[in-house]
Amino acid sequence: MADTYDFGLVGLGVMGRNFILNVADNGFTAFGNDLDEEKVGALIKEGGNTDKVNASSDVKTFVNALATPRKIMLLVPAGKVVDIVIENLSIYLDKGDIIIDGGNSFFTDTDRREAFLKAKGINFFGAGVSGGAKGARRGPSIMPGGSKEAYQHVKPIFEAVSAKYKGEPCVAYLGPKSAGNYVKMVHNGIEYGLMQLTSEIYDLLKKAGGLSNAELCKTYAQWNQGRLQSFLVEITSEIFEQKDDLGDGELVDKILDKAKQKGTGKWTSQNAMDLGIPVPTIDVAVSMREISALKDERIKADKLYDRPTPKAVDKADFISKAEQALYFAFIITYAQGMHQLADASKEYGYELELGEIAKIWRAGCIIRAALLADITEAYQADKELQNLLLSPSFVEKVQSTVDAARELVSYGSANGIPLPGLSNALTYFDAYTSSRLPLNLIQAQRDYFGSHTYERVDREGIFHTEWEDN
């Protein structure tokens, strides 16, 4: 069956294999490629009972098996491997063919690769794919960016395989160039923020509320039935009931408290700094993974300093406050990420529609949450919305929960429980909603020691004062 397969996929690891089987489930024929013969064999075995799936370790055989314009997705580790695969494929491809990088590539790499392939007449897409292995198999959220015309060839396949929210596909053309990878990067930054917040609230409920794992499981499960409904809250509940196969009790208590990272959260934070957009909840989520890695130092330091014993709390009231605070901080984290997207869109010419992005995050991806339906509506109501906190539909949601966040942040600081995500979300809120901040003093200091000048509140112009003469 040469020249006839609808879709090609390079990289038959767990994600790739699941994605290709998903494509076949949706009625398309798909051909896989991997250097590893074992993976090729495993795919043929798994998908071979239909005549929809085939695979080869030979690049030329793979390319020749595909119908033109060829649509080839790469699900290989981000970095140098992507360049090598592109290089190898491009020898055999024709003008008009399409390569889609489905990994977490850094967005400037995507721009470079697009330019390289454009010179050969080949279309290149950076398409973030979220939802992990299960998502790839049952329906991920897909965030493609690249040529709008070329997207029309990929659209039917992506719409069929993606997750659905009330029947609507969780994929949309997002914009030119690296728009897709950029949006996925910020998705991951938000993911870092939400994960950090979820773990801080766990810490509070455990240390102050004295909740057992069974109670934590129940609490997060109940929250998942309400406005906090989300993938991360749902899996958190399930984590608390997982028994330890290798010993007594629940597994969560045996897991070392050092969180690893592959870099996407850090990139979000770094790029936000470059753009001049504040995303402190995401920044601190990255810092906390770094602090967590300093386990040996933390153990030494713990012995040197006393910390307060958490004061007793009214359990039911504390759980209710925790729910409100988590909801508040989730909103702030999405607000920061969306703000970054709005600014990046202008800076890089992505022409992003934030309502579309929120829409395709409602199902399939790691940050899917009931809140995203409200965020979608807010951006659909006002396409130019600068920040979610400025949306009239969010004022009451935030106003009614911020006091619980204040109470828990005070409790945490008085009782020695670190809440950097929650306190940063609160500080961000307090600063963003202050019409007057004390940064006038910073301007005065800058002008004092460096003649950096300042503006005034009562008249136009740029001013400088010879401070020391006074």
Positions annotated as catalytic residues are 184, 191
* Packing angle of the helix pair 213-223, 315-348 (nearest 10 deg): 50
Do 337 and 190 contact (CB within 8 A), yes or no?
Answer: yes
CB of 141 or CB of 324, closer to ligand 6PG: 141
End-to-end CA distance of the chain: 88
Among 1-9, 30-38, 127-135, 442-450, which window interacts with ligand 6PG (CB under 6 A)? 127-135
Q: Which of residues 92-111 bind ligand 6PG (CB under 6 A)?
A: 104
d(CA 280, CA 426): 10
What is the Rg, in whole angstroms, of the alpha carbon atoms belonging to the chain?
Answer: 25
- Which member of 93, 319, 365, 404 binds ligand 6PG (CB under 6 A)? 365
E-assigned strand segments in 146-275? 164-165, 168-169
Peptide bond just before 308 cis, omega within 30 deg: no
Nearest residue to ligand 6PG on Cβ basis: 130
From residue 369, alpha-carbon distances to 130, 190, 285 in Å are: 14, 12, 19
d(CA 401, CA 375): 17
Interaction between residue 283 and ligand 6PG (CB under 6 A): no
CB of 104 to ligand 6PG, least distance (A): 5
Q: Which of residues 233-262 bind ligand 6PG (CB under 6 A)?
A: 260-262
Among 92-100, 130-138, 236-244, 352-360, which window interacts with ligand 6PG (CB under 6 A)? 130-138
d(CA 299, CA 305): 11
Interaction between residue 374 and ligand 6PG (CB under 6 A): no
- Which member of 41, 77, 96, 132 binds ligand 6PG (CB under 6 A)? 132
CB of 340 or CB of 391, closer to ligand 6PG: 340
Q: Which of residues 171-190 bind ligand 6PG (CB under 6 A)?
A: 188
Among 82-90, 124-132, 211-219, 336-344, which window interacts with ligand 6PG (CB under 6 A)? 124-132
Interaction between residue 310 and ligand 6PG (CB under 6 A): no
Number of residues that bind ligand 6PG (CB under 6 A): 13
CB of 41 or CB of 132, closer to ligand 6PG: 132
CB of 135 to ligand 6PG, least distance (A): 6
Interaction between residue 131 and ligand 6PG (CB under 6 A): yes
- Total count of residues recorded for the chain: 470
Q: Which of 290, 301, 284 is nearest to 425 (CA)?
A: 284
Report which secondary-structure segment, H or E, holds 309: none
CB of 459 to ligand 6PG, least distance (A): 49
CB of 293 to ligand 6PG, least distance (A): 13
Interaction between residue 366 and ligand 6PG (CB under 6 A): yes
What is the token pair recorded at 188?
């991951």
From residue 242, alpha-carbon distances to 159, 199, 235, 250, 407 in Å are: 35, 16, 11, 6, 31
101-114 b/e with 16+ CB inside 10 Å = b? bbbbbbbebbbebb
- Which member of 22, 105, 264, 345 binds ligand 6PG (CB under 6 A)? 264
CB of 77 or CB of 355, closer to ligand 6PG: 77
Do 59 and 32 contact (CB within 8 A), yes or no?
Answer: no
- Which member of 130, 198, 213, 391 binds ligand 6PG (CB under 6 A)? 130
Long-range Cβ pairs for the range 212-218 (8 Å, 24+): 213/240, 213/241, 213/249, 213/250, 213/252, 213/253, 214/240, 214/241, 216/240, 217/241
CB of 236 to ligand 6PG, least distance (A): 15
CB of 198 to ligand 6PG, least distance (A): 13
- Enumerate binding residues for ligand 6PG (CB under 6 A): 104, 130-132, 188, 191, 260-262, 264-265, 365-366
